[in-house]
């Protein structure tokens, strides 16, 4: 049975040492969720200097499905409307929504391309 909810914790850390930024980011470039699920992932990030973090999705460009998703101030990435496998709305209608997620502490930014694959669920 496929779950109707999806939650995956991903971790990012920004750290500054000797005026040099070290970046850590998740190494998953693709996540899968069941159709009808709005929540994609919860991004857990920290800054060792204690700066507040800002989460964002890159602006819409050809091949980028940014307009279909939002990321909250708490780092929760979700679809604006839950996707339907039988009616793909992504850029090339292959049920893979491609976006770029960024986290910034005001001094540096880390970004990651992410493909969210929508899986078919028996209706």
All structural domains of the chain with their residue ranges: 9-119
- Retrieve residue 23's tokens: 């970046």
pLDDT score recorded for residue 20? 37
Asked if 32 contacts 117 with a C-beta cutoff of 8 angstroms, the reply is yes
Dihedral pair phi/psi, residue 50, rounded to 5°: 80, 10
- Name, in order, each residue with C-beta under 8 angstroms of 94's C-beta and a sequence gap of 6 or more: 88
pLDDT > 90 in the chain, percent: 33
* Residue range 8-56, pLDDT digits in tens: 334 444 444 333 334 444 455 788 889 999 887 888 787 778 888 899 9
Average pLDDT value for residue range 77-97? 94
The single residue listed with the structure tokens 């920004």 is 14
CATH code 3.30.160.270 for 9-119: no
């Amino acid at each position: 049975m496929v779950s109707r909810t999806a939650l995956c914790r991903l971790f990012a850390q920004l750290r500054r040492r000797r005026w040099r930024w070290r970046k850590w980011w998740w190494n998953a470039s693709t996540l899968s969720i069941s159709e009808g699920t709005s929540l994609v992932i919860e991004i857990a990030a920290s800054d060792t200097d204690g700066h507040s973090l800002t989460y964002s999705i890159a602006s819409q460009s050809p091949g980028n499905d940014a307009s279909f998703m939002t990321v909250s101030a708490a780092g929760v990435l979700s679809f604006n409307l839950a996707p339907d496998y039988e009616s793909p709305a992504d850029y090339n209608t292959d049920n893979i929504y491609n976006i770029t997620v960024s986290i910034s502490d005001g001094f540096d930014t880390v970004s990651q391309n992410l493909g969210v694959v929508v899986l078919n669920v028996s209706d």
